[in-house]
Amino acid sequence: MKYRMLTGEELEVLAEDLKHFLIVNGVHDEEWREMNLSDVPKATSLVELFSDTVLQKVYEKIRYIEHRTETSCMVFSLNKDKIELISLNAKHNSDVDLSTPESIHSALINDSDSLTIFKSEKNYSKERELEIHEMLEQGCVNSTKEFWDALHKTV
């Protein structure tokens, strides 16, 4: 398995897609029901393959992700062959909160002396989508071009 198994909730949402996936792979409704009873490893293997296919497509479309805490905000631009980072960090002993867009905006306007801001970039150390998966597993969430552009103007 390349990424992870989709959760039951995710599979429910994608039930129709899973049905089409199974048909393309030569497994029809009755065969699927029987497989779930008599050959659980094979059924699990098909769900794992479906999960990887879905996640691969999702990760290919992701362009911006971010990770926020009270003391830091990292926003990543996920380009074809490199990752760019804009990082905002609260200096020690400051009361700056970087956990929400509003508090970040306020900190940039009112408390910029309490922040360290830097930008960097690196090439992917492994396949792009695999790095994105790992970053999401570590707590990053989807972000927007607008947020990236707004921070980019401050650096």
Full 3-state SS string of the chain:
CCCCCCCHHHHHHCHHHHHHHHHHCCCCHHHHHHHHHHCHHHHHHHHHHHHHHHHHHHHHHCCEEEEECCCEEEEEEECCCEEEEEEEEECCCCCCCCCCHHHHHHHHHHCHHHEEEEEEEEECCCCHHHHHHHHHHCCCEECCHHHHHHHHHHC
Determine contact, residues 51/1, Cβ cutoff 8 Å: yes
Q: What are 83-139's pLDDT values in tens digits? A: 999 999 999 878 889 999 889 888 888 888 899 999 999 999 999 999 999 999 999
Q: Is the pLDDT at 26 greater than 80, yes or no?
A: yes
Q: Where are the domains of the chain?
A: 8-61, 64-154
- How far apart (Å, rounded) are the C-alpha atoms in residues 72 and 70? 6
The distance in angstroms from the start CA to the end CA of the chain is 39
What is residue 93's predicted lDDT score, i.e. its pLDDT? 76
Query: To which residue do tokens 């293997």 refer?
Result: 45
Q: What are 37-76's pLDDT values in tens digits? A: 999 999 999 999 999 999 999 999 999 999 999 999 999 9
- Write down the mean pLDDT value for the chain: 93
Give the global pTM. Answer: 0.87
What is residue 66's predicted lDDT score, i.e. its pLDDT? 97
- How far apart (Å, rounded) are the C-alpha atoms in residues 54 and 50? 6
